Chains A and B, each alone.
Chain A
C-alpha cells in the first residue's frame, strides 16, 4: 500500500475511523569492491541488495511487527498494521525466501539465528500512523559489507541456475557462512559454503564453492575432495573435473550477466585498497596455470569455458574469441550433460562429460568444434591415425628409429561419437642381436599405458611393462631378439578412473632393410628412400606429398573437410564454414579468409565502430543487449520505474494528480481504484487515462459514499508498462482493467508519443544532444543527462545544470555544489576534502625539498635535511645510497646524519609517495 488519498478522504468525509497503520519505505545496499586481474581496482560502488527480507523490529516488545521484501533494485515498500506507539527500527536480512525458487541465506555461523542483518537507527516513540522512510541503509566493509556482497553474488548464482533450469524452480537452501573468525580457506562441505575470513569480497571464490553446491544438488561428483593446487597438472581425474567445473560455473555466472572481467578468477588478501592480490588466473587462457590434459582443473575449466563464451563475452579479449573456439552460448547444452548423463556415470570426469555431450539422450552434436577446443587443451578424445588396430589382424606397421608416434586410447568402431576402451596394436621387423627400446611418454589425460611385446605368433609374451616406476605411469621395455624376427606390440590403458588418454610411442633400434638416403629409415617402410626429408615420423607439410609415409597426403591441413588446406588459404582448419570464397557473415570472424572481419556493410546501429552482431550494447545506452528490452533504441532499456504521485484538491469536487517524470517514460497510464473505508480493501484498479503525455491530470469524478479513490500511475515506453508497485502481500499489483496502447501523436510531429522525446512539443527532428531521452527543445538541462528532469526549485532549469555555489561548474560536474572552493579547477590541498573533484581526498602531488646538505671533512659527517608537502609521518624519505631519514618534529624536517662517508658531491632524496629531489652537498 503506497498512497492513501488522504486529501480526498478529507474532502468527502468528516467522520472517518482512525487508520492505525503505516508504510515503510527505503532501500538496502552494500559497498562493493570491484576487481580485475591485479586484485581490487579501488572502485567501491554502492550496489543494491536485491530481494532481501526486510523487518520492522519493536525494540521493547522484542518482536517483529512488520515485514516486506526488497525488489530487484533493493527498494522496499510495505505496510505495517499497528495501533501502538513503539520504539522501532528497520533491518535488512541477508536472506531470500522463496518456495518457487532457490532460497539463499548468509549467516555468521551455521546457526539459523545468526543471519546477517543490516539495521537502521531506532525511531523512538513511533506513532502507529506515522510512515517510515529509512533512506538507503548501506552495509560497509568490516560491518556487513562482505556478507551482503556474498549474498548479492549468491543471488547472481541462483539467477544463472534459474536460466539453466529454464526458469525458477524449488531447490534446497544455498547457505553461505561468513565470519571474520573463519579460517583463511573457503570450502563447501555439503551443507554450506564457508567463506574464508579474508574472502568477503572474493566473488569468484564464493561462486566457485557454489559450483560444488550445484553439483551436489543437481548433478553428481566422485571427487575425493580436499585440497587441490592450480599448478598440479596431474590431478586425480575426478577431482580435476569437479574443481574445474566449479571454477567454470562461478565465472560463467559473471559471463552470463556481463559482469566485468568475467573470465578472471581472483583471490585477494581481503585488505582495503587497490591491489592486495594473492593470485589470479584466467579461465579462458588458463594463465598463469597452464596445463594440458584432463588431469588438470585448469584444463577442465578452460574447456568448459570455451563451450559458453563467445566474441562478445566480457572476458580478457572482448570482441574476439580464440580462433579454434567456434562454440558459444551453449550453457544449456552443458547443463543437459550435467543433469541428464552425469548423475548415472561412474568415476565422473571430463571423459564422462564428453560421452554425455554425445549421448543420444543429450545429443549436443558439434563434434568438429568440440574436438578443436579439447585438442587445443591437450585432451584428445578422438581415434588416432592408426585406428582401427584393436585386433591381431589389425596390427599396424611401425618402424624402429627416431620416429615418435602420437597415439590415443579412444576407439569408436560404431561411430556413435562415444569412446570405447581401446587397444593399440603394432608390428615391426627386428634385426637379430640388436637391442630395441620400446617406450611410452608424454602421457596426458590419465593415459596410464601398459605395454606387451609379443612374438610373431601374437600370443607369446616376450617382455612387458606397466609402469616405468611407482611414480611414473609411462612404460619402458628393452629387448634384444636373438635373431631377425617380426615382433608385435600391444598397448592397453592400465587401471584407473578413466579409459581415454593420449601418449607418445617410440621404438628405438635398428630397422631392417637398406637406407639409401641415410635418413634412418630403411626400404622396409621408407616410402621414398631417395629423399631424406621423407620417412615415417617426418613432419607432414602442406606440399601434396606424403611426407611421413602414412599413405595420406597432407593430412591435418584440411581437418574440417571443406576442400581447402591451410596452404591453400584456409584460415580456419577446424570449421568447414570458413574458407576462401565462403560468404562473409556478421559474427566477428573472417569467414572468407580475406584478412577482413565482417566486411560488407553490416549494421552498426550506434555508430561506435562495433557491428551489432558483436557489439554487447548496440544502442550504446550503457545497458547490455542481453538485458536491454530495446537493444536498438537508447530511449529505453528497462521498464519505467515505479512512480510517486501527489494528489491535491483543485476545488470541492476535483482532485489533481501530479507526478514527476521518470527516466525512460514519455507517456503514462493513470489508474484509479475505489476503496471502501471499512472492510477488506480491494485494489482492483481500472484504467482512467491511457498514454498521458504530461505529468498532471485532474479527476472530477466523485467516489460513492463510504469509499475513497486510490490512484496509481505507470510509465510506458516501447518495452511496455512500468511497475504499479506492490500490494500488501509483496506481490506486483495487476490492474483489473489495464490501459490499452493508444498510438497517439499529441503534438502532431509524426513521432508517436510513446517514443517522442518531446511529446508535448512538435519536434520532428528529435535532437537530443545529451542522449537522456528528453529532446533538446523540451529538456531543462540539454547538455547534461538528467532523464528525470529534476528541478525541485521549479526555476525551469534542471538541477544538474545549476551552479549552486556559482563557481562556474554545474552540479553535475561539481562534487560539492555548495562550496565554491571545491570544483575541478581547484588545486588539491591537505584539508580532508576532495578539492579538485577527482574522487580522491588529499591526493596532493608530492614536492620534496632538500633544505640542507653539508659534509664535514674532519669526521666525514654528512647531514641531509628535507621537507615534503605531505603530512609528516605519512611517508618515508630516504637518501639514496645512505638510508632512511628520521622525522624531527621540532624542526618539521626529515633528517639523516651519517658519519665516515666520503663527500658524495650531491644527494638525492626519494619519498614513498613518489616525490624526489637532488641537491649539491656543501663541504664545511
Chain B
C-alpha cells in the first residue's frame, strides 16, 4: 500500500475535532474538515499485536468508545466466529454509562486458526440524554495471511491486478 501521510493527518485532525466541544456563537466560519455523519457513541474496533505461529493467530481486540453526549444503558455484544475465542475469558461489561466526551478502551485477547478470514462483529444499543435509544454496529476481520502487497506504484499510478470476468464466474 502506498503511504498517505497527508490524508492520515487530516483524518486524525477530524477525529480530534470530533469531540472538541461546541462552537462559540460568535465564532467566524473556519475551514475545519466536514466529517461524515456519526452516532453520538463513536466506536473504533481494531486488532493489534497480531502474531501468527504454528497455524494460529493471536492478537488483541481493542474496542475504543468515545461519547459525544451523556449516554446511558450502553450495552455491547460481540459475535465471534466459532473458531475464535477470548483466551482469558474476559467478557464485555454489563450495561454502563458514559459522560459527555468520556473515552473508554475495552481489550479482549483473542486466538484462532490462521487459515481463513475471521469476521468479528460488535453490536450494541445506547440511550441518549433525551431518552431515545439507538443501535450501533461495528466490526473488524482477523484476516488470513495474504501476500504483502496487493499493488505497486508504477508510472503515475497505484496498480492492482485485475481479475478476468471469466475467472469470477467460475
Chain A: residues with CB nearer than 8 A to chain B? 27, 29, 31, 39, 46, 57, 62-64, 91-93, 107-121, 135-140, 142-144, 177, 179-190, 192, 194, 196, 199, 205, 208-209, 212, 221-233, 236, 238-239, 242-243, 246-247, 265, 267, 269-273, 275-279, 288-289, 297, 495-497, 873-876, 912
Contacts and interface: CB of A to CB of B under 8 A. Distances in A.
A148 B44 CA distance: 25
Contacts of B166: 135
A338 to B, nearest CB: 16
Contact of A179 (B7, B25, B33, B69): B7
A227 B39 CA distance: 10
Nearest to B45: A269
Interface string B16-37: 0111100101010111111111
Task: Among A113, A199, A269, A876, find the residue whose CB has the most chain B CB atoms closer than 10 A.
Answer: A269
Nearest to A64: B155
Contacts of A185: 11, 14-15, 18, 35-36, 38
Interface of B: 1-8, 10-12, 14-15, 17-20, 23, 25, 27, 29-40, 43-45, 68-69, 82-83, 113, 117, 119, 121, 128, 130, 132, 134-141, 150-151, 153-166, 168
Contacts of B20: 226-227
Given A142-B150, A226-B18, A179 B4 contact: yes
B2 A229 contact: no
B4 A495 contact: no
Given A135-B166, A138-B165, A229-B39, A224 B30 contact: yes
Contact of B82 (A91, A228, A912): A912
B4 A177 contact: yes
Contact of A135 (B12, B18, B165): B165
A876 B83 CA distance: 8
Tell me which of B34, B69, B139 has the highest count of chain A C-beta atoms within 10 A of its own C-beta: B34
A39 B139 CA distance: 13
A181 B40 contact: no
B35 A228 contact: yes
B1 to A, nearest CB: 6
A227 B164 contact: no
Given A46-B165, A135-B165, A277-B137, A110 B7 contact: yes
A325 B57 CA distance: 56
Nearest 5 Cβ contacts at the A-B interface = A183-B11, A225-B32, A876-B82, A137-B162, A117-B157
A222 B27 CA distance: 11
A93 B157 contact: yes
A565 B143 CA distance: 65
Contacts of A246: 34
Contacts, number: 263
Contact of A187 (B2, B34, B137, B155): B34
Nearest to A31: B168
Contact of B164 (A91, A138, A222, A226): A138
B129 to A, nearest CB: 10
A208 B35 contact: no
A297 B35 CA distance: 13
A117 B160 contact: yes
Nearest to A212: B34
Contact of B134 (A177, A205, A279): A279
A875 B158 contact: no
A91 B159 contact: yes
Contact of B3 (A29, A181, A186, A208): A181
A194 B136 CA distance: 23
Contacts of B128: 231
A109 B40 contact: no
A54 B37 CA distance: 35
B105 to A, nearest CB: 15
A215 to B, nearest CB: 9
Nearest to A137: B162
Contacts of B68: 227, 229, 232
A297 B37 contact: yes
B29 A223 contact: yes
Given A138-B163, A143-B150, A231-B40, A874 B82 contact: yes
Contacts of B12: 183
Contacts of B39: 229-231, 278-279
B33 A180 contact: no
6 contacts: A114-B158, A143-B160, A225-B33, A229-B69, A271-B140, A276-B119
B168 A119 contact: no
B137 to A, nearest CB: 5
Contacts of A143: 150-151, 160-161, 163
A186 B20 CA distance: 17
B114 to A, nearest CB: 13
Contact of A118 (B17, B45, B153, B162): B162
B164 A223 contact: no
Contacts of A875: 82
Contacts of A111: 2
Contact of B168 (A140, A189, A230, A236): A140
Query: Which one of B3, B137, B141 has the greatest number of beta carbons of chain A within 10 Å?
Result: B137
A212 B7 CA distance: 17
Given A269-B137, A279-B135, 15 more contacts: A57-B154, A92-B162, A108-B4, A109-B4, A117-B160, A135-B164, A143-B150, A143-B160, A181-B8, A182-B7, A183-B12, A224-B30, A267-B36, A278-B138, A873-B82
A692 to B, nearest CB: 32
A115 B6 contact: no
A63 to B, nearest CB: 8
A27 B163 CA distance: 12
B2 A269 contact: no
Contacts of A233: 130
A699 to B, nearest CB: 35
Contacts of A225: 17, 30-35
Contacts of A275: 121, 137
Given A185-B14, A212-B34, A273-B119, A113 B4 contact: no
Nearest to A90: B162
Contacts of A115: 156-158
Nearest to A448: B25
Nearest to A911: B82
Find the residue from A31, A57, A108, A181 having the highest chain B CB count within 10 A: A108
Given A57-B155, A182-B4, A267-B36, A227 B27 contact: no
B137 A196 contact: no
A230 B4 contact: no
A181 B38 CA distance: 20
Contacts of A873: 82-83, 113
Contacts of A46: 165, 168
A224 B160 contact: no
Contact of A224 (B23, B163, B165): B23
B42 to A, nearest CB: 8
Given A120-B162, A226-B18, A279-B135, A194 B10 contact: yes
